[in-house]
Amino acid sequence: MLIGVVVAALVGAATAGVVYWRSDRGESTAPPKPPGSVIGPGTGRYVALGDSYTSAPRTGAPAGTPPGCGRSDNNYPHLVAAELRPVSFADVSCGGATTQHLSEPQTTPDGVNPPQLDAVTPDTTLVTLGIGGNDIGLVSLARDCLTTNRAVSLCKPRLTAGGRDQLAERITATATKVRTALTAIHERAPRAQVIVVGYPTALPDGNGCWPFLPIGPEDVAYLRTSLARLNSMLASEAKAGQAGYADTATPSKGKDMCAKARVKWVEDVVPSSPAMELHPNAVGERGMADVVLDLVD
């Protein structure tokens, strides 16, 4: 998702609006619980939609088809399903997915993933949605961030030239797409609790951790701010779209790609545990699952 190569480095409750605060989970908003919404051992259907921060390539054994989506049996949807034990579970997340691939097929290097929304059926009682990072194009926009001079920042000047902030503009444009997706989910599954899952903290405070994060200090700050803006947009759209919001950024603060092995939620350019570079590892997926589980009623 957000990042897959070094040069792209960055890269609940029954009532809506109830906020939960736990120091190890962050601030998350519980989803409304429609009448008839039941999820638990032997009952209900859980559907997971999303990109590679949801599918979590290499964090466990491959799961589901097509193989090109890179789904792991140790990603947060599988961990949530293992705890809830619903009668039916579908993880249709896929690496590289954008909001477009919620309603349209996605061609991967190894197979075609059907429109993800096809899995959301009237009997669905829980939906998690982790999407938006690929819509803002962090991978392509950050390709030129890599630099051999740790004092030089190549991306921010280019992406903010002329008084425009390209990432901010793309985040604003993506908001409408997320809103449309939430409407479609509610229409397809009126009894479902819906949770938008935010992105964990990928970048550290300060100037980064050269050379594991080989981009300049201004770029680290700019990309960190952009990721925070993306999460803020997702939280706002979740609230407006009658969905809960799983804040995974707060509990992962200090556990970014510059943190120590076995502490970090997100791997750097040379993973210290099984995961795709610059993506969540098994620790991160477990943490994300715990935040989601706190919100499920």
In degrees rounded to 5, what are phi and psi of residue 61?
-75, 145
pTM as predicted: 0.90
Domains of the chain listed by start with CATH number: 6-295 (3.40.50.1110)
| Tens of each residue's pLDDT in the chain, 297 residues | 443 333 333 333 333 334 434 445 567 999 999 998 999 999 999 999 999 999 999 999 999 999 999 999 999 999 999 999 999 999 999 999 999 999 999 999 999 999 999 999 999 999 999 999 999 987 566 556 878 888 889 889 999 999 999 999 999 999 999 999 999 999 999 999 999 999 999 999 988 888 888 889 999 999 999 999 999 999 999 999 999 999 999 999 999 999 999 999 999 888 899 999 889 999 999 999 999 999 997
**Residue among 52, 55, 93, 252 flagged as catalytic:** 52
**Residue 297: predicted pLDDT:** 76
- Say whether 186 is catalytic: no
**Residue 147: predicted pLDDT:** 81
**Residue 144: predicted pLDDT:** 67
The token pair that represents 149 in the structure block:
């001079």
**Residue among 78, 101, 186, 279 flagged as catalytic:** 279
